[in-house]
């Protein structure tokens, strides 16, 4: 709350933090059930999600730790799902092509002389998403670059 009051739009910041807290509880429940049943979880990022969320979503059902499952940020609207033993993972249609996007961005980061780490790939992806949203005339205020 102290941080929010010091920003130019405290309501926006507080709404984002509240949204995160509510959705983190849902994520925690799924993580608990996944551990109990022996499954892994995967991230379902929305069509307008940021580079960070897209990167995590491209990994598929590989997450089992609470730390990885809880990775979120203010205004994050990602969902998680559990792949129980015997199930097949099928990403939503809007996520098709994201693995190729990741590989292309990773190669571009290397060509640009940067280390292909999480920070540089996520920032490159956010730049690409901003350009796409700008062409569509949509807001990209939810995208935050990794410091």
pLDDT digits (tens, 9 = 90+) for 89-124: 888 999 999 999 999 999 999 999 999 999 999 999
- Which residues pair with residue 40 across a beta bridge? 83
The vertex-9 CA angle with 43 and 26, nearest 5°, equals 25
pLDDT digits (tens, 9 = 90+) for 58-90: 988 887 765 565 677 777 778 877 788 888 888
What pTM did the predictor assign? 0.69
For residue 53, what are the CA distances in angstroms to 15, 38, 44, 61, 69?
A: 19, 24, 8, 14, 11
Picking from 1, 31, 35, 29, the residue whose alpha carbon sits closest to that of residue 17 is: 1
Question: Tokens 């994520």 identify what position?
Answer: 27
Please count the helices (runs of H) and the strands (runs of E) in the chain: 6, 2
């Amino acid at each position: 709350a102290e941080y929010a009051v010091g920003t130019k739009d405290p309501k926006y910041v507080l709404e984002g933090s509240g949204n995160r807290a509510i959705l983190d509880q849902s994520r925690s429940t799924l993580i608990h059930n996944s551990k109990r049943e022996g499954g892994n979880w995967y991230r379902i990022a929305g069509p307008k999600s940021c580079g960070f969320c897209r990167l995590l979503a491209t990994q598929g059902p590989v997450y089992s730790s609470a730390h990885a499952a809880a990775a979120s940020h203010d205004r994050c609207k990602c969902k998680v799902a559990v792949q129980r033993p015997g199930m097949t993972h099928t990403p939503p249609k809007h996520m098709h092509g994201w693995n190729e996007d990741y590989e292309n961005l990773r190669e571009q980061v290397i060509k640009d002389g940067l280390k292909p780490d999480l920070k540089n790939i996520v920032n490159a992806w956010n730049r690409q998403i901003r350009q796409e949203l700008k062409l569509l005339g949509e807001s990209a205020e939810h995208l935050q670059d990794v410091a």
